[in-house]
Amino acid sequence: MKQWAGLWFAVLASTAMAHAPGHFEERAAKVEGVDYRYQVFIPGGLTPSSRPPIVLFLHGSGEKGEDNRAQMTQGLPPWLKTHLDFPAVVVMPQAHLQQSWRDNTAAAAALATLRMSVSEFHADPKQAYVTGLSDGGFGSWKLGAEHPGEFAGLVIICGAVFSTWDGKPWSGIWGAPVQDGPQAVFDWVAGKVRGTPVLLFHGSDDQAVPPEQSRQMAAALKRIGSPVRYTEYPGVGHGSWQQAYATPGLWPFYAAN
């Protein structure tokens, strides 16, 4: 555990934000001519000199829409509502109904909301994390692989990097060698995120996204000596995110989990 903790960024030096509860605010952005709505968790006591960490959360396929509400019902947002002392900015965009975080347009919109929030809240770009569940797990792998070195860590729950679409191999990650089969994709993605700490979570009985995806990604990262920790929940199906986000020590800058 000490070795793992050393791979993450150090605990925040300032404790000022811990004395006031955080809160949620709504935002909207236009990305490539399309309107996107998102919510932001703002730590209590935030000042322009705070330089807090920042987390991008990508929801699952069941939370798509344009109400700027559904993405708050699963995963990290409900956890945040009971942990208002969380010392990081959290950006929670919402994909449109016809989109997936595996799509280039939706992924670009998510990244844009993150970068706008870094600027607005004076967050530390060197402490930017991306996390997601299910479709958001796919999207987290996509952002991590397509933007190597941009994130301080990836927290991916029941995600995947390889699937089939109309009987054809498909990844959604630009440049992935899908024609060479899943193993080649696992190894290629591992190489892209090499050096970035990765936490993986999956239920052993997940029927929506096979746990083999996380198992193989963990194995591929270990083969090249890249930091990874994989947790598999026995007897748990697709909804493994509640347990995952409640994991003690999940966030290196938050001692109270």
Q: What residues are paired with 163 via a beta bridge?
A: 170
- Phi, psi of 115, deg, nearest 5: -65, -35
Burial of 78 (0-12, 13-18, 19+ CB in 10 A): middle
For 216-257, the pLDDT digits (tens) are 999 999 999 999 999 999 999 999 999 999 999 999 999 865
- Phi, psi of 106, deg, nearest 5: -65, -40
Percent of the chain with pLDDT over 70: 92
- Give the global pTM: 0.91
The reported pLDDT for the residue numbered 165 is 72
Q: Which two tokens stand for residue 151?
A: 């994130």
- Phi, psi of 208, deg, nearest 5: -90, -45
pLDDT band for position 19 (50/70/90)? low
The reported pLDDT for the residue numbered 5 is 46
Does residue 168 surpass a pLDDT of 90? no
Q: What is the mean pLDDT of residues 4-11?
A: 43
For 29-80, the pLDDT digits (tens) are 999 899 999 999 999 999 889 999 999 999 999 999 999 999 999 999 999 9
133 in Cβ contact with 159 (< 8 Å): yes
Distance CA 237, CA 210 (A): 10
Q: What is the mean pLDDT of residues 169-174?
A: 89
Distance CA 79, CA 58 (A): 14
For 96-121, the pLDDT digits (tens) are 999 999 999 999 999 999 999 999 99
The reported pLDDT for the residue numbered 15 is 41
Cα angle value 161/165/168 (rounded, 5°): 95
Lateral strand order in the sheet of 34-42: 23-31, 34-42, 89-93, 54-58, 128-133, 153-157, 198-203, 228-233
